[in-house]
Every structure is written in structure tokens, then in C-alpha cells.
């Protein structure tokens, strides 16, 4: 199969598998990450098939909905890649990216065990979807799903929570900006990713300023 055919088959599989997925990790998230990946990859020397397949398959199974089992996603990706007879080297590289790329891992340097230029590109593409206008929408969507308040001036951001505490926290969604979203621009791997992140970061700062102004009834 040609690269195009492999990518098309993967798109079909991912769309089908993610039917009914929640808003933060639906097909459109995958499509945006795939597009960001291609944009960044234009400026980097990477294997296009590897980054394309990894972007498409990176959220194929969210551990949050599989009793926290982090091995399901990589396993589903591997089974699918074998079913379309991808060569062993490509398969291995794609699966390693998926295993090592989650948002949580990306914020905890210690859990980083594998890296590659391809992983860096797809990880940047995924991080870009957590910031800017889309990132803001996803954060409030997630907060709503968890029944969290928008903002509470008496509850300050807490940067020292463990992964478990963070998950169970009932902190308002605005805190997530300080605890995660505004930290992402300094974690970008590639120059292109960094540049786009910088623009989206500024957009979020402007948004927060407007938010606090409106909160106080200033304008």
C-alpha cells in the first residue's frame, strides 16, 4: 500500500472507533492534531508516515474511560497497524510514540522514557490543541463535564497536586490555565510548535484579562 492509502485506511478506522467519543477526544481533536502535525512536520526532518499514523492513533483509547488502563490505546494501535500490514519498524515507532505521549506524561519529566523527533512533533501538535481558542473551549467543556465552577476568586491555583489529586480536584476551570495551560508554551519541542504556542499563549492571556474585567463588572 502507498503512504496515502495507509493514511486513508487509518483515518477510516479512527473515525469509526471514535464515534460517540466525548468532545475533548473526538475525531475532530484527532483531525486538528493531524493537521498541526503536518504543519510542524513541513519544517522538520521526520518520517511523514510515522508522524501521520501516530497523530491519528494517539488517542484511540482514553485510559480515563478504560479504568485507567494505559496499555489499551497502544495495543489497539498495534493490532490495527498489523491488520494493514505496516512494516515492523514503522509499527514499532508509532506504538512507542503513543505509549510515551500522553498529556500527563508530557508534564512529568520523570516518566519520559522514549523520545524521537517524530514523537516531539506529534506531542507539540497535541499540546497546541490544548491552548488558544480551542484549548479554552476544551477546558470549559471538560470543567462542565466535571461540574466544576468557572472561577472562584477564593480558590487559588495549586501547582503541587499529584496526578491523582489533580484528577479528583474540584477546583474551578480558570485554575487549570495556571496549573497546566499557561505552562505548555515552555514545553514545546520544535521551533514551529513554539512559535504557534507563543501566539496562542498571548491569546489566552488576553482572554483571562477580559474574563477578570467582566467578572468585576468593569466593562
Residues of this chain that bind ligand ADP (CB under 6 A)? 24-25, 59, 102-103, 130, 135, 138-139, 142-143, 173, 176, 180
Least gap, CB of 201 to Ni ion (angstroms) = 19
Least gap, CB of 87 to Ni ion (angstroms) = 25
Least gap, CB of 85 to ligand ADP (angstroms) = 29
Beta carbons of 218 and 70 less than 8 angstroms apart? no
Q: Which is nearer to ligand ADP, 176 or 201 (CB)?
A: 176
From the list ligand ADP, Ni ion, none, partner contacted by residue 143 (C-beta under 5 to 8 A by kind): ligand ADP
Q: Which is nearer to ligand ADP, 6 or 73 (CB)?
A: 73
Q: Which is nearer to ligand ADP, 39 or 134 (CB)?
A: 134
Q: Using N-to-C axis directions, what is the helix angle for 3-17 and 72-83, rounded to 10°?
A: 140
Show the cell assigned to 128.
497546541
Least gap, CB of 219 to ligand ADP (angstroms) = 26
SS3 157: coil
Beta carbons of 177 and 139 less than 8 angstroms apart? yes
Report, in angstroms and rounded to the nearest whole number, the Rg of the chain calculated over CA atoms.
18
From the list ligand ADP, Ni ion, none, partner contacted by residue 176 (C-beta under 5 to 8 A by kind): ligand ADP
Q: Which is nearer to Ni ion, 134 or 155 (CB)?
A: 134
Residue 173: Cβ within 10 Å count? 19
Q: What is the largest CA-CA distance in the chain?
A: 61
Residue of this chain nearest to ligand ADP (CB atom): 103
Give me the residues that bind Ni ion (CB under 5 A), please: 59, 126
Non-local CB neighbours of 179 within 8 Å, separated by 6+ positions: 157, 158, 159, 161, 166, 171
Beta carbons of 23 and 129 less than 8 angstroms apart? no
Least gap, CB of 3 to ligand ADP (angstroms) = 26
Amino acid at each position: 500500500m502507498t503512504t496515502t492509502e495507509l493514511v486513508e485506511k487509518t483515518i477510516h478506522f479512527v473515525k469509526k472507533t471514535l464515534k460517540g467519543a466525548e468532545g475533548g477526544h473526538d475525531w475532530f481533536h484527532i483531525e486538528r492534531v493531524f493537521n498541526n502535525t503536518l504543519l510542524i512536520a513541513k519544517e522538520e526532518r521526520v518520517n511523514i508516515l510515522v508522524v501521520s499514523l501516530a497523530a491519528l492513533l494517539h488517542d484511540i483509547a482514553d485510559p480515563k474511560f478504560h479504568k485507567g488502563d494505559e496499555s489499551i490505546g497502544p495495543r489497539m494501535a498495534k493490532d490495527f497497524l498489523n491488520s494493514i500490514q505496516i512494516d515492523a519498524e514503522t509499527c514499532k515507532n508509532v506504538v512507542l510514540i503513543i505509549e510515551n505521549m500522553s498529556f500527563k506524561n508530557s508534564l512529568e519529566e520523570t516518566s519520559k522514557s522514549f523520545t524521537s523527533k517524530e514523537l516531539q512533533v506529534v506531542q507539540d501538535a497535541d499540546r497546541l490543541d490544548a491552548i488558544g481558542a480551542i484549548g479554552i473551549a476544551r477546558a470549559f467543556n471538560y470543567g462542565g463535564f466535571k461540574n466544576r465552577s468557572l472561577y472562584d476568586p477564593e480558590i487559588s491555583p495549586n501547582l503541587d497536586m499529584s496526578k491523582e489529586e489533580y484528577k479528583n480536584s474540584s477546583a474551578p476551570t480558570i485554575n487549570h490555565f495556571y496549573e497546566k495551560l499557561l505552562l505548555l508554551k515552555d514545553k514545546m519541542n520544535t521551533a514551529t510548535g513554539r512559535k504557534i504556542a507563543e501566539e496562542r499563549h498571548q491569546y489566552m492571556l488576553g482572554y483571562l484579562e477580559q474574563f477578570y474585567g467582566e467578572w468585576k463588572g468593569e466593562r
